[in-house]
Chain A
Amino acid sequence: MTATVLEPSAQAALDFAGLMKQHQAMVFSVAYHYLHDREVAREVAQEVFLGLHRNLAAIQSPAHAGFWLRKVAVQRSIDEGRRRLRRPQVPLEDVAEPAVEAAPGDPLLGETLRKLIATLAEAPRMVMILRYQEDLDPMEISEVLEIPLATVKSHLQRSLALLREKLARRGLGER
């Protein structure tokens, strides 16, 4: 019986494929929710994985890969947002008014929320994405974004208050 021994490059490639499969939704979603553009998000996510492939030798564990990918996805998304000067992509005034009251989990309310988040400034926008997409606590968010914990908490509180106000103005307030 002969054992198949993969060369280091082949092993790395297989690991890369596995890492990509595991994390592609996270990387793509960070970029998509931040940039609010599916095609641009795809390009950013692709760049992030190309960066991972170049730096695969420096990745020590699957957990390290996840942390690395999240951090690079965040940074690339912010860079791309600055480059394209797309903020705010959709002026707040242009967000469609719902014709009927939205139910919990309603796609209409979800889309309104995504558009409202897209109008936030870059730091609070990314804080909200990391909090509610990635379910990170404020301490983890401060590590990823390299900003003080108090700033993260402040961004969260202010953004939530702003969203409540905007939704209430549109008749989508607390039920």
Chain B
Amino acid sequence: MDWLEQELKSALARKEPPPEFAEGVAKALDGVLPDAASGPRRNLVAWPSRTARRWLAAAAAILLMVGGGAGYRWHQGVEAKRQVMLAFHIAGGRLNHLRTHLKEVSQ
């Protein structure tokens, strides 16, 4: 190795990064890197896995469909009942009118 190569080794010797380098990496990891005393951070409520989330979404969709169907049928029943009651009311009015008319004729 000649003088130039010696100088190159000296010029390109490894250099330490700035003192705050490790701290910067830890900050960038946003707390993923735990310190030995505190232990790793954990979420209080575990987030469901991807498969579980898919099942939950499917179950929610089925519930929505079943619930929607039941609600629609209940609404149809209420409407039918209202129409029957209206028909009874009209028929009752006409019967009263007819009875009054018959009474007048018989007198």
A interface residues, Cβ below 8 angstroms from B: 7, 9-10, 13-14, 16-17, 20-21, 24-26, 28-29, 32-33, 38, 41-42, 45-46, 49-50, 53, 104-105, 109-111, 113-114, 117, 128-129, 131-133, 135, 160, 163-164, 167, 174-175
Does B101 sit at the interface, judged by CB under 8 A?
A: no
Query: With A20-B22, A24-B22, A163-B8 given, can you name 13 additional A-B contacts, CB distance below 8 Å?
Result: A7-B40, A9-B34, A10-B36, A24-B16, A29-B15, A38-B18, A104-B10, A113-B7, A113-B12, A132-B8, A135-B9, A160-B5, A164-B4
B33 and A128 within 8 A (CB): no
Q: State the CA gap A132–B34 with chains docked (Å).
A: 36
Q: How far is the CA of A88 from the CA of B24 in the complex (A)?
A: 29
Residues of A within 8 A of B10 (CB): 104-105, 110
> How many angstroms from the CA of A10 to the CA of B39 in the assembled complex?
7
Chain A interface SS verdict (over half): helix
Number of A-B pairs whose CB atoms are under 8 Å? Answer: 100
Q: How distant is the Cα of A168 from the Cα of B42 in the complex, in angstroms?
A: 62
Q: Is B52 an interface position by the 8 A CB rule? A: no
B99, chain A: closest CB distance, angstroms: 88
B9 CB contacts on chain A under 8 angstroms: 132, 135
- The one of A24, A117, A160 in contact with B12, judged by C-beta atoms closer than 8 angstroms, is A117
State which residues 13-66 of B face A: CB under 8 Å.
13-18, 21-22, 24-25, 28-29, 32-34, 36, 39-40
